[in-house]
Amino acid sequence: MKKTTLLILAIIIINVSSFSQSTGTLNLSPGQKYLVENKITTSSSSEMMGQTMETKADVSSNYKIEVKELKDNNINFVNTITGMKMSVNAMGQDMNFDSDKKEDMDGEIGKNFKDIINQPKDVVMDKSGNVIIPEKTDTMSKTNSSSSPTEMMMQQLGGDPEAQGYGAKMAFEIIPKGSKVGKSWADSSSKNGITKVTNYTVKEIKGDEYTISLTGTIDSEIKTEMQGMQIETKTKGKFTGEEIVYVKTGVIKQNTINSDASGTVIVMGQEIPTSSKITSVTTVKSL
């Protein structure tokens, strides 16, 4: 069950990760607050020792984001993950987690999230939507990189959580100025063993709301160490989706993504084939 938990958490983090960059700017004001709600449904399969392990999971998480200050070309936020609920069925066994319950937060899953859930994080973005990370000494970087199993999983399969604004990037998308229906653009990045390509097309315009069609690929090949074991992951995936964006501000109203991925996880010389289907729905509301 512990291995199943790690795999499910890794899938969750993949969904919230983004390297999106495009021309245009965020237009936000100090004092603005947003509630971000993310719901994920997953179905995954792993082949271990000639047996197939099927796993299904439903996960919901809430974030509160507040714009604190505009400084030069940057926007200072405070982002807080306020809650997470998870229901998992693996190999006929059910596992549930609710961060609002003290007994769950004190359990095996909850202890990995205590440094993230209900812990306000300062996040700085430039007006192009890129997270600005303060420089750290080598000593600090090494300490932080192994601070918790959760953050190691995020770095392994979804990218550095700090670089994603602890989920804050889910709330914003930049639309190029002057975009009309049919306008397309692409976006790509390669960082820490993860290569992502996203294609955008303006599907519909209703006043300030732009509906954007999304397609893309994400490939990863990463080696890391967890609890003394070397873990190597190689995955390839495709995704399609649609999002509605308030073009004047860059705030996402709703984003829906469907993705398929397959690959292998190599642990202690054992190669484990895996595949997954994931649906993610994110909504952002002004508070």
**End-to-end CA separation in angstroms for the chain:** 38
Say what the pLDDT of residue 23 is: 61
Write out residues in the chain with pLDDT < 70, as ranges: 1-23, 136-161, 226-227
> What's the rounded Cα separation, in Å, for the pair 136 and 139?
8
Enter the DSSP assignment of 242.
E
Model's pTM, two decimal places?
A: 0.80
Say what the pLDDT of residue 185 is: 93
Say what the pLDDT of residue 19 is: 41
Residue 89 CA: distances (Å) to CA of 93, 117, 210, 264: 5, 23, 37, 21
Say what the pLDDT of residue 221 is: 85
CA angle 231, 92, 155 (to 5 degrees): 25
